[in-house]
Amino acid sequence: MANRVLIVDEITSERTEFARALEAEGFVVTQAESASDAVRAIWEGSFLVVFIASILTNTKAVGLAEQLQQMAPEIETVIHGKNDVRSRLVRKATAIRDGIAA
């Protein structure tokens, strides 16, 4: 669990680029293209951080974050927008992994 991250984003190219950046920092990344995929992934494994795109079809990001927190309260959830700097999000995951930030 110490280095597993879940990315929830409907845009494949965004998900893939973010996953590559996280993998370069040593994270094992699971990608989910929908809220239902994210819930399924949480049931199947444990994660340190879940990054949720702020815009999802048929689901509010905040609602999904709350649902995932209820399912697995130990997981940090981060809602991010399209304009967020990817390197800053990667640093956030690294800080959480290293126990520097929560």
pTM: 0.92
CATH number for the domain harbouring residue 52? 3.40.50.2300
**What is the average pLDDT value for the chain, to the nearest integer?**
92
For residue 102, being part of any structural domain is answered with no
pLDDT tens digit string along 60-83? 999 999 999 999 999 999 999 988
Please state, in angstroms and rounded to a whole number, the distance separating the CA atoms of residues 72 and 33. Answer: 19
For residue 92, being part of any structural domain is answered with yes
Number of domains in the chain: 1
Domain with 40, as residue range(s), is 4-97
pLDDT tens digit string along 45-63? 889 999 999 999 989 999 9
How are the residues of the chain apportioned to helix, strand and coil, as percentages rounded to the nearest 5? 45, 25, 30
pLDDT number for residue 1: 54
